[in-house]
């Protein structure tokens, strides 16, 4: 992931993309789509890991739907 010091302004990226051939642009889109999907998978895996830790660490307890709604509305 890029840090503030090594980031390229978005407008410059768009200008650079305009200089690519249509085939290169299609390849870039495919690569970016795969990267976005992979980042989403990593976020989901981290959320699942955290939820499992919370559950096994007694941070969670089973509740009925009525109890859950009571907590939400409280």
The whole-angstrom separation of Cα 43 and Cα 72 is: 25
pLDDT tens digits for 19-59?
Answer: 999 999 999 999 999 999 999 999 999 999 988 888 888 76
Question: What per-residue confidence (pLDDT) applies to 12?
Answer: 97
Least confident of 4-8, 26-30, 55-59, 64-68: 55-59
Residue 61 backbone phi and psi in degrees, to 5: -145, 150
- Nearest-5° angle of CA 12, CA 13, CA 19? 95
Query: What is the model's pTM?
Result: 0.63
């Amino acid at each position: 992931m890029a840090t503030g010091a090594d980031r390229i302004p978005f407008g410059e990226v768009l200008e650079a993309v305009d200089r690519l051939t249509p085939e290169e642009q299609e390849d870039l889109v495919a690569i970016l789509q795969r990267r976005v999907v992979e980042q989403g998978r990593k976020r989901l895996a981290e959320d699942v890991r955290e939820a499992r830790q919370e559950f096994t660490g007694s941070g969670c307890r089973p509740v009925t739907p009525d109890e859950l709604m009571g907590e939400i509305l409280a």
